[in-house]
Structure 1
């Protein structure tokens, strides 16, 4: 009998790719999403499959799923600045109340649970590259605090259930990720640059563009998530591509790839925006045997094909 996995945030960018991966691995998948930021079109290709079930549900409310569950992946949360700044209370609730509900479900079902944390737990880092032992530099009352502290609380709650109740838990810290099914209007660098370039609009870079990011293609990320879930490692693990680039250089790459004549324009840097972001993936390499395979040039080409169809 196929093992069953519950994936929250299933209609989102990452959640929908995780549904695809687990179905391809032979699992029965239960997708859950309240569609606050998710898009049902991301998973509509799965509805004809008898191995896939969808619940339109808010995980901050009590979560009930009949039958056995082997694994839970908690990926429900607004994840882009434009979303969590617009929905600060929901962002805090999904990583606190939602995490509590899903850890309780994991305890009741005897399931292993993996929670999606983020590189934002490191805040505007004073250590570079960021390794898992770094505690971060976060402004808890700044505008980004609703997301950063929500994820830090999620990690604390998860470890409490692991240590106190013996729940099998895994924590992934996700660095910047991109690929098909990103929302064009979600405010993150790649969809913003690509949609502006394809429309021939000015490409907006915040600050002077010297701040860095490290972009990981979604297929690589999903593989890292799968490997961590199946591992015996219970401490947080960074998953991301350590190929670091400034946002100015990244904008120039995207404009060139799109064959656009867009100009790059500069806007003021938002408060507490991280100046550097690069994962130390030593643990992922040594414990999971994982490292990214898709280089940025190839990943951007695949993503451009998706964006061209949706502009």
Structure 2
């Protein structure tokens, strides 16, 4: 098939492109390189089935494809808060443009939504039936509400135009290929530990996250796209094993043999206290659950970041 991946030069998008090529598909990778990088897909350029296009999804795109994976949007707070208006436009206008394309060519389209649609949840763990607790005017709202609106658009196109949609809600994901300056907790802790800086913990470190390794996440996204029974989602994809920030920091220090000390800073506004997916639906509908343990995934990710730092590719900000 001919498959379009928006945000295809990003952390997850580049690995998705690689998997799709390995499955024998032709892949059109679209990215405006705000957070993505040509370096992430440079090894794919020699593949005759791969095409790279610089494009911003807030503008219409006219191509012929069979499937669309819509991953375009900065996903870390430091990046999506840099230009919050553009972040909202990417989620909302980008969804409208990609849905319009899917409608025109009759393509199946998958939306990479997020656990942030649940906000600071009052239900734990979070099932897909939970509507969330989101601040609509906060610093994180450009991303949270943008993704919520994108889901609305997907289901309105499904109901109004009978479009073939799939919606996945991605929980915290990590692995080789992450942006070293994306401000996410895994990349922050690893870079700080490898460079001997204090490891920054916000609040008391008791807040929790659930970390899913990159390869596990790409696998379930592919399974979701290939479902033929009319199942639309939304469906949670992520690792249900929950860790506190203190536990993660101490594990990173152990795996890197770092001398870094812990530094406690004030908690950012609207930072969720808990985040853990209920993946019962993914187990039932897709026969999927993650297989990579946090220690194993972190070891591979640390090796990747160590290579960036030792080769001089990492530039502190």
Q: TM-score range by the shorter chain?
A: over 0.9
The answer to whether 1:156 aligns with 2:152 is: yes
The answer to whether 1:286 aligns with 2:298 is: no
CA distance in 2, matches of 1:112, 1:306: 34
* Deviation sequence 1:144-179 (CA, Å, 0-9, x none): 111000000000000001110011000000000000
Please report how far the alpha carbon of residue 304 of structure 1 lies from its aligned counterpart in structure 2 after TM superposition.
1.1
* Deviation sequence 1:191-216 (CA, Å, 0-9, x none): 00000000011000111100000000
Partner residue, 1:224: 220
CA distance in 2, matches of 1:144, 1:34: 22
Partner residue, 1:103: 99
* Unaligned stretches of 5+ residues in structure 1: none
TM-score normalized by the length of structure 1: 0.98
Please report how far the alpha carbon of residue 307 of structure 1 lies from its aligned counterpart in structure 2 after TM superposition.
0.6
Give the one of 232, 235, 242 matched to 1:244: 242
- Number of aligned positions between the proteins: 307
CA distance in 2, matches of 1:15, 1:118: 15
Give the one of 47, 51, 74 matched to 1:49: 47
Partner residue, 1:84: 80
CA distance in 2, matches of 1:163, 1:235: 14
Partner residue, 2:255: 257
SS across alignment from 2:139: coil
Partner residue, 2:201: 205
The answer to whether 1:122 aligns with 2:115 is: no
SS across alignment from 1:43: helix
Partner residue, 1:189: 185
Please report how far the alpha carbon of residue 249 of structure 1 lies from its aligned counterpart in structure 2 after TM superposition.
0.8
Give the one of 304, 307, 314 matched to 1:306: 304
Partner residue, 2:139: 143
* Unaligned stretches of 5+ residues in structure 2: 310-317
Moved segments of 4+, more than 3 Å: none
* Deviation sequence 1:81-122 (CA, Å, 0-9, x none): 000111201110011001100000000110000001000000
Please report how far the alpha carbon of residue 69 of structure 1 lies from its aligned counterpart in structure 2 after TM superposition.
1.1
Please report how far the alpha carbon of residue 64 of structure 1 lies from its aligned counterpart in structure 2 after TM superposition.
1.4
* Deviation sequence 1:123-150 (CA, Å, 0-9, x none): 0000000000000000000101110000
Partner residue, 2:17: 19
SS across alignment from 2:81: helix
The answer to whether 1:133 aligns with 2:129 is: yes
Please report how far the alpha carbon of residue 235 of structure 1 lies from its aligned counterpart in structure 2 after TM superposition.
2.2
CA distance in 2, matches of 1:40, 1:276: 34
The equivalences for 1:55-66 within 5 A come to 55-65=53-63
Please report how far the alpha carbon of residue 255 of structure 1 lies from its aligned counterpart in structure 2 after TM superposition.
1.0
CA distance in 2, matches of 1:19, 1:307: 21
* Deviation sequence 1:206-241 (CA, Å, 0-9, x none): 111000000000000000100111113112000000
- CA RMSD after TM alignment: 0.6
CA distance in 1, matches of 2:200, 2:271: 15
